[in-house]
Amino acid sequence: MSILIPRGLLAATGAVLLLAGCAAQNAADPVARTTIASQRVPGFSCPPAGAVVSYGQVTRTYQGSDPTDPVICVSSDQFGVIHRRMYDFYELGHPSDTIIRSAMQSLYPMAAGRQSEFSVFLTGQSGLSLPFTERYRVEGEEKVVIGNREYDTWIVSHIRNGGGPSNFMGEDIYWIDKINGIQLKRVIRQSLGAVAVRRNFTASSVIMGN
């Protein structure tokens, strides 16, 4: 007895098999693997997939690193919005992505005194793209207690000076978990000039995935 398969179902099945074959080929492609490996920055890794960090009313759930670029950290907020941040600091999507990716490598692996300094164009409240000088520096180490757990952290300062009409000067201090790379705390030490509102934050809970 012959079995008739609808033509549409046959086409869809073929498309699925073709996609699966392409995915398998990419996974096995030594050139693709070499490209991804060459993008790795020694000493840097994104917070692990499954980690859930709450900062008061804000929650961040990590999905690990982007499969095509290990310095892009993928996470979602409490509304399910996906965020892709370079080194877990910079949201992707502005003209300075390439500069940031290259310049931030000098901050890793973190150790007291290591720093990264570079110039970028960022979009201010006016919607204009304005020049900024960014500097990150590892200032030292400190223990931070979140809930009933103590974390060993790197203290990282971030100084941003803006040119043009922004006339902005700012300094943030971050406490970053040494093991998982999670930003546990941020304090705005200085914020002068025209800039979008930024806030202090401290993790109220950290739940690691399986």
Q: Where are the domains of the chain?
A: 43-207
CATH class of this structure's domain 43-207: mainly beta
Question: Each residue of 146-183: pLDDT tens digit?
Answer: 989 999 999 999 998 876 655 677 889 999 999 999 99
Question: Each residue of 40-95: pLDDT tens digit?
Answer: 899 999 999 999 999 988 999 999 999 999 999 999 999 999 999 999 998 888 77
Helices (H), the chain: 7-28, 30-38, 97-103
Cα–Cα distance for residue pair 188/207, rounded to 1 Å = 25
DSSP 8-state assignment for residue 92 = S
